[in-house]
């Protein structure tokens, strides 16, 4: 089982995160049109007794930023033509809808994914969480 744990403190302008075999978070800043993507990993949960996990710190949390935690099932979703949804499409949707609330961004991404998949069912879980910094 993989895991991503994120805490966001907008007042301190910090985001702490740790991963256990899960994709790292994506942070989009519409003020600079910049995506911050992070490296770092940890072994999946339950595989190694007494595994140690590294905490990472992002110290540039700003109002308006969009933070996304997602499983690979979202960007690795394939439509009936064998086309992958892809990380670039995910980033472009975040950029396109960044002016909306977190709930609205989530709804729009779900709608775009549904349109992309058409009648095809996803092959994997499609899980994501959107945080909009206020």
Where in the chain are the domains?
A: 3-132
Burial letters for 49-75: b for 16+ Cβ neighbours within 10 Å, e otherwise? eeeebeebebeebeeebbbbbbbeebb
Q: Give the mean model confidence (pLDDT) for residues 2-27.
A: 94
Residue 30 has pLDDT above 90, yes or no: yes
Residue 28 has pLDDT above 90, yes or no: yes
Q: Give the mean model confidence (pLDDT) for residues 35-43.
A: 87
End-to-end CA distance of the chain: 32
Distance CA(78)–CA(71), nearest Å, equals: 14
Asked whether the beta carbons of 59 and 40 are under 8 A apart, the reply is no
The 10s digit of each residue's pLDDT in 86-131 is: 999 999 999 999 999 999 999 999 999 999 999 998 888 889 999 9
pTM of the model: 0.93
CATH architecture type of domain 3-132: 4-Layer Sandwich (3.60)
Residue 42 has pLDDT above 90, yes or no: no
Q: What is the pLDDT of residue 133?
A: 97
Query: With bands split at pLDDT 50, 70 and 90, how would you rate the model's confidence at 1?
Result: confident
17, β-bridge pairs:
6, 56
Q: Which of 95, 99, 124 is nearest to 112 (CA)?
A: 95
57 backbone dihedrals φ, ψ, rounded to 5°: -130, 130
Q: What is the pLDDT of residue 35?
A: 98
Asked whether the beta carbons of 55 and 5 are under 8 A apart, the reply is no
């Amino acid at each position: 089982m993989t895991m991503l744990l994120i805490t966001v403190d907008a007042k301190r302008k910090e985001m702490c995160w740790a991963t256990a075999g899960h994709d790292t978070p994506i942070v989009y800043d519409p003020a600079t049109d910049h995506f911050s993507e992070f490296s770092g990993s940890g072994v999946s949960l339950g595989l190694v007794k007494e595994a140690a996990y590294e905490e990472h710190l992002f110290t540039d949390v700003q109002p308006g930023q969009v933070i996304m935690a997602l499983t690979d099932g979202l960007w690795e979703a394939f439509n009936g033509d064998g086309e992958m949804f892809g990380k670039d499409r995910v980033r472009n949707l975040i950029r396109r809808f960044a002016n909306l609330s977190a709930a609205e961004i989530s709804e729009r991404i779900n709608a775009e994914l549904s349109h992309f998949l058409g009648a095809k069912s996803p092959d994997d879980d499609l899980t994501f969480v959107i945080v909009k910094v206020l």
